[in-house]
Structure 1
């Protein structure tokens, strides 16, 4: 099983594909009321410290990529809480985490499906050896396929539940946290009361995108 590493990924591309409309069901966390004509996509940066188990994700506002989702979240997986941050208005929401699985971390019960080469094995320098892991998240009953390098750096993660497919794809991965302040709670969030979680709701990093 891969060892835990500290790393910061510069760019994260997130795409949500909806193939059919499902009905909300409080007993099945993955099911959502969705509009078939609404697609969600986001490009942003995230910083993740696997030792402290903290993650910060912020969408980028660029002309090159028009995000339909604006998001700034700070996750404290060990504490089981996260903050939705609005820096412009100096406000935030504090919520509990029912699922503490980081979407690009390989679960301990994941099964190694295969080792493949992305690109060409015939041309020198034109191929990347990668491992493909599969499994199901127990809390949300979501199936996943995670692709990593042999050294366990994340390349992509595909999550499926009912008719929803969520794809995370990494670019320009770095192996150290260069700005630790990104993982520090902003002063205007300190003392924020924990919001009550409605019955049947499952708060997780993944659910912020579906």
Structure 2
């Protein structure tokens, strides 16, 4: 009986040590760099993200081959609309969103790949511990890293036959939205 009890305790301890997907913040702002090497596409932007209301605003500088543009794009998934304002020409396109909202988070069915340190833990403030997760979702195959403390996104790589391989890196994340009016469509789009 004691052996059975010991085995049950051991299994419980081992199972309890298996990391569970962390819960990423629902509302934040960050700097973002997104790459799609196959399309020679690079976008540097400032992103406001609101998972609760399924809306994203991106103000970016796009480098596509040798062409450069600046855009302010508002994705309102609950309304099914995308507002894309060219910051130079002030021309606005309103597009029906056909793709679903894709949360920036560790999916519940994610596979834990391990923990690692970005930088160094040899000196205070010189590094950060991240968890690596990956797997398959309805949007495609993915792998990503999230901070151990706070579950902030660090990087994501998504692959689907529709989009190809897209890598996104997140920097300078702050909790909350500084100006909630950024989720109002631009007047040039009305």
Please name the residue that 1:14 is paired with. Answer: 34
Count of residues in Structure 1 that have an aligned counterpart in Structure 2? 164
Deviations 1:64-89 (A, max 9, x none): xx874654321123344322234543
RMSD in angstroms over aligned alpha carbons? 2.7
Structure number with the higher helix fraction is 2
TM-score normalised by the chain length of structure 1: 0.66
Say which SS state the counterpart of residue 109 (structure 1) adopts.
coil
Q: Quick one: distance in 1 between partners of 2:100 and 2:131?
A: 25
Could you list the runs of 5+ residues in structure 1 that have no partner in the other structure?
A: 19-37, 191-210
Contact 2:69 2:86 in 1 (8 A): no
Could you list the runs of 5+ residues in structure 2 that have no partner in the other structure?
A: 1-20
Please name the residue that 1:159 is paired with. Answer: 158
Question: Structure 2 matches for 1:52-201, cutoff 5 A?
Answer: 52-60=53-61, 68=68, 70-86=70-86, 88-102=89-103, 104-139=104-139, 142-150=140-148, 151-161=150-160, 164-190=164-190
TM-score normalised by the chain length of structure 2: 0.72
Q: Quick one: distance in 2 between partners of 1:185 and 1:44?
A: 18
Please name the residue that 2:26 is paired with. Answer: 5
Segment drifting more, 152-161 vs 72-81: 72-81
Contact 1:41 1:69 in 2 (8 A): no
Question: Structure 2 matches for 1:39-54, cutoff 5 A?
Answer: 39-54=40-55
Contact 1:40 1:69 in 2 (8 A): no
Say which SS state the counterpart of residue 60 (structure 1) adopts.
strand
Q: Quick one: distance in 2 between partners of 1:39 and 1:61?
A: 11
Q: Which structure's relative contact order is higher, taking Cα pairs within 8 Å and 6+ residues apart? A: 1
The verdict on how the C-alpha distance between 1:108 and 1:97 changes in structure 2, with shifts beyond 3 A counting, is farther
- Higher-Rg structure is 2
How far has the Cα of 1:186 moved from its partner?
2.2
The verdict on how the C-alpha distance between 1:60 and 1:39 changes in structure 2, with shifts beyond 3 A counting, is closer
